[in-house]
Amino acid sequence: MNYINTLHNQAMEFADLAFFEEQKNGKSSNFYTYTSKAFELEKQVALNFKGIDEKEPNRSILLKSAIYLAFDMNNLDEVEQLIYITLSGTKVPLSIKLELVELLEEIKLIKINSNQNNLSKIAISQNTTIHNIHFKNGNGINKGIIDTEILSEVLLTYQKLRIEIAKSIYPNKNKKEIDQIALTEIIVNKAASFSVFLRPKKSGQIGIFDTENIYEISDRLELLLSKIGDIELLKNDVHLTKNEMNTLKKLLDSIAKKEIQIDFNSYFIGKGERHKYSINKNYSEQILKNICQLTYNKTDIIELEGGFLMLNLKTKKFTFLTKVKEEIKGDYAKVVYNEITKISFESNYKIKIYKYEQKEIGKNLPDYRYEIIEINEL
């Protein structure tokens, strides 16, 4: 019995490692490694109780633990086999029996739909790239059911992010060309948690070059959603555009607020390749934190003395030369319009200006903008 307890404790240690890895990085390769080790150990422990009813409820509890570890690895055959082993006992607690019967029905439903919903098979049958967004859990998400608000918010923001990525990669393409490679449409939904399949809109009209463009969009999307938890990568290599950043923040904010876990999968017809990654509340919050660390807006009020070199009443632009020979260029506010019309280029002035400082990801130095709010002749 001590040997069994030791194995069980080891299994739980690996299960804990898998849990914390998923919270931090989603379902990474480490997550599956830890889960697999936990499952093998827990299965070994559980099968020692096979058919021994006097060991209940320990037998059923351990088998249930092994079942859900197998489910986390998507090993449905193993799940089904262990459920039948568990239910073969005559003293299985009623609550566990009902839970496993329900899980068994879900497994059967997934298996019935597996041929139809297999990502690569759908891609091949449709002869187009297929993207799968699987809402695994979160507030408002259940087996085959999802709140309309959550579904629409995530899908619309996901679509907007694809468009902004396309614009950043292909700045010379017009709206019609961007839509051709960035827009998607839903073709199938799957009732396992909640899962939707999308394909490029007007798939039949997409040529070989469009297919490559779609791949590049998805490649950057994977980068933004699965790798920029690394702040150094975000700082030095990603170079987000302003619109990409704003849309990405909306999507991440939705995931974090609703405590959603989502698996993203894409299969690219013609390439035989796929993208697969996960994102959850904690990882979304980490990316948002990194973005906030690398972006900021500051406003200061400063006073300067000197003379005007240029004024444009139409564009409301000015150039001011300070006493230390520094040129300041910017705009003037409406409140100083009357003073501006009386400016003499021969005179010296003391001006008060707003200094706007903005730092964006991918830029080593911030941008500055100046606006005059007060003018006094010296």
**What's the mean pLDDT in 278-298?**
81
| C-alpha dist (Å) from residue 354 to 67, 127, 295, 365 | 63, 57, 19, 19
Q: What is the pLDDT of residue 306?
A: 94
| Predicted confidence (pLDDT) at residue 168 exceeds the cutoff of 70 | yes
Beta pairing class for 145-146 and 296-312:
unpaired
- Domain 296-377 sits in CATH at 2.40.50.140
| Total-model pTM | 0.52
Sequence ranges of the domains in the chain = 2-115, 118-294, 296-377
Amino acid code (one letter) for 353: I
φ and ψ of 347, to 5 deg: -100, 165
| Predicted confidence (pLDDT) at residue 154 exceeds the cutoff of 70 | yes
| Predicted confidence (pLDDT) at residue 191 exceeds the cutoff of 70 | no
Q: What is the pLDDT of residue 364?
A: 64
Instruction: Name which residue leads in pLDDT, 306 or 21.
Output: 306
φ and ψ of 288, to 5 deg: -60, -40
Which residue has tokens 């070199």?
Answer: 309
- How many whole angstroms from its chain centre is CA 192? 20
The whole-angstrom separation of Cα 299 and Cα 302 is 10
At 302-360, the pLDDT tens digits run: 999 999 999 998 888 999 999 999 999 999 988 888 888 899 999 999 999 998 887 76
| Predicted confidence (pLDDT) at residue 216 exceeds the cutoff of 90 | no
Six token digits for residue 303: 């006073």
Instruction: Name which residue leads in pLDDT, 352 or 367.
Output: 352
Residue 243 pLDDT grade (very low, low, confident, very high; cuts 50, 70, 90): confident
Six token digits for residue 91: 């003293």
- How many whole angstroms from its chain centre is CA 152? 15
| Partners of residue 350 on adjacent β-strands | 305, 376
Q: What is the pLDDT of residue 175?
A: 92
At 102-145, the pLDDT tens digits run: 888 787 767 655 544 567 777 776 778 888 888 877 888 876 67
Lowest mean pLDDT among 95-109, 166-180, 259-273: 259-273
The whole-angstrom separation of Cα 284 and Cα 260 is 10
Q: What is the pLDDT of residue 115?
A: 46
Nearest partner of 187 among 239, 139, 126, 247, judged by Cα: 126
Six token digits for residue 156: 């619309």
**What's the mean pLDDT in 194-213?**
69
- Cβ neighbours for 72, distance < 8 A, ≥ 6 positions apart: 18, 35
Percent with pLDDT over 90 in the chain: 17
The whole-angstrom separation of Cα 47 and Cα 66 is 10
Beta pairing class for 317-322 and 296-312:
antiparallel
Q: What is the pLDDT of residue 371?
A: 92
At 41-93, the pLDDT tens digits run: 888 887 776 545 557 788 888 888 889 888 888 888 888 888 888 888 878 88
| Predicted confidence (pLDDT) at residue 190 exceeds the cutoff of 80 | no
Amino acid code (one letter) for 67: I
